[in-house]
Amino acid sequence: MGKPTNRKRILGFVGRVTIVHVVSYFIAGAIFYNVFNYAAKYSKPEMASFMRPMSSPFVTFGPLFQFIRGPIIALALIPFRRVFIERK
């Protein structure tokens, strides 16, 4: 099988960063949604003018949009990937 090519390493890195981003986004969102009672806060008039209601499809499918954001973050981190994966 040999050594993985640089392209495979980069794609693996992008995949790992994306998965970690999506999972952490979902977990943090679920925790803080309950802790800070977002539904009640976002329905107040002062917040409703610039925050979507929790019933909005954009809010509902927000975690799915993170599969687009994850690779973008990964691409920004590629120059530092050796720092993240290097073992001491």
> CA-to-CA distance for 12 and 53, rounded, in angstroms?
36
| Residue of higher predicted confidence among 63 and 22 | 22
Whether residue 21 lies inside any domain: the answer is no
pTM above 0.85, yes or no: no
Q: Of 19-28, 33-42, 66-75, where does mean pLDDT reach its minimum?
A: 33-42
Place of tokens 């390493």: 9
Identify the domain containing residue 48 by its residue range. 27-85
pLDDT at 25: 93
Provide the number of structural domains found in the chain.
1
Which of helix, strand or coil describes residue 4? coil
Whether residue 72 lies inside any domain: the answer is yes
List, for residues 24-44, the tens digit of each pLDDT value.
999 999 999 899 988 888 888
